């Protein structure tokens, strides 16, 4: 069903609200962020902000749902394009990072789970668990097709996903840095997975000779 113009505008504006809220929560945490902080960042009045969210708890919840949606989108796109396990892992990392440091960022760090209501908390945790399992499945596929070295997929997945999820904590919008993160992080984070390292990812031994 085609969206009505007013629905589209509402979603676009709420996405702006969630990006601004993500920035505030990433920098100040839940207790240090108020709805007024978010409204001021957007140039909205406090009552105008309540048109998009009921309260701060719902704002955190929606930020985390958005973060889960971004990860799922990147994963689905990477898998749909095919290739061996390592190729899909690197493609997923690139697509996810491109969103996080691009125009659709920032994405909220899921560090304030305890602040959520029980139902919201369980929903967000379940989405996170499902995403982790899908990433572990990619790693397992790579082991099976011989593109990834045998490894503990749970520990390896936690290490890689932890690195990605922490990017919003230290990335603050510099576009030169964004280009470097997009181009280098997928290889850096997946280098230890390679069965046979590519020339691009091998250390430059001439530097140490």
**Has residue 110 been placed in a domain?**
yes
Res. 6 pLDDT band, cuts 50 70 90: low
**Has residue 202 been placed in a domain?**
no
Q: Which of 17, 31, 134, 26 is closest to 74 using CA atoms?
A: 134
pLDDT digits (tens, 9 = 90+) for 108-130: 999 889 999 999 999 999 999 99
How many whole angstroms separate alpha carbon 35 and alpha carbon 46? Answer: 7
Number of structural domains the chain divides into: 1
**Has residue 86 been placed in a domain?**
yes
**Has residue 103 been placed in a domain?**
yes
pLDDT digits (tens, 9 = 90+) for 65-109: 999 999 999 999 999 999 999 999 999 999 999 999 999 999 999
Distances (CA, A) of 87 to 78, 79, 91: 9, 9, 6
**Has residue 142 been placed in a domain?**
yes
Share of the chain above pLDDT 70, in %: 90
Structural domain for 159, as ranges: 61-194
CB within 8 Å of 6: residues ≥ 6 apart: none
CA-CA-CA-CA torsion sign (204, 90, 104, 28): negative
pLDDT for 205 beyond 60:
no
**Has residue 74 been placed in a domain?**
yes
Work out the mean pLDDT of the chain and round it to a whole number: 90
CB within 8 Å of 85: residues ≥ 6 apart: 138, 139, 140, 141, 142, 143, 144, 145, 147, 148
pLDDT digits (tens, 9 = 90+) for 184-197: 999 999 999 997 65
**Has residue 207 been placed in a domain?**
no
Return the CATH number at 178.
1.10.357.10
pLDDT at res. 61: 96
Share of the chain above pLDDT 90, in %: 78
Candidate ranges 46-50, 84-88, 101-105, 164-168; pick with highest mean pLDDT? 84-88
Does the pTM surpass 0.95? The reply is: no
pLDDT at res. 198: 54
**Has residue 163 been placed in a domain?**
yes
Q: Which of 65, 74, 126, 133 is closest to 100 using CA atoms?
A: 74
């Amino acid at each position: 069903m085609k969206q009505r113009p007013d629905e589209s505008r509402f979603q676009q504006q709420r996405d702006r609200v969630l990006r601004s809220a993500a920035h505030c929560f990433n920098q100040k945490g839940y207790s240090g962020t108020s709805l007024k902080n978010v409204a001021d960042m957007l140039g909205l009045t406090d009552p105008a902000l309540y048109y998009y969210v009921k309260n701060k708890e719902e704002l955190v919840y929606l930020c985390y749902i958005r973060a889960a949606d971004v990860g799922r989108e990147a994963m689905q796109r990477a898998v749909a394009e095919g290739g061996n396990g390592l190729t899909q892992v690197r493609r997923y990392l690139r697509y996810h990072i491109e969103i996080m440091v691009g125009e659709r960022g920032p994405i909220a760090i899921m560090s304030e789970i305890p602040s959520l209501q029980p139902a919201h908390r369980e929903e967000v945790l379940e989405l996170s668990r499902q995403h982790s399992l899908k990433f572990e499945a990619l790693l397992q596929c790579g082991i099976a097709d011989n593109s990834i070295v045998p490894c503990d997929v749970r520990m390896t997945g936690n290490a890689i996903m932890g690195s990605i999820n922490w990017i919003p904590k230290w990335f603050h919008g510099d576009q030169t840095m964004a280009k470097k993160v997009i181009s280098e992080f997928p290889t850096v984070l997946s280098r230890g997975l390679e069965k046979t390292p590519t020339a691009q990812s091998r250390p430059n031994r001439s530097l140490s000779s």
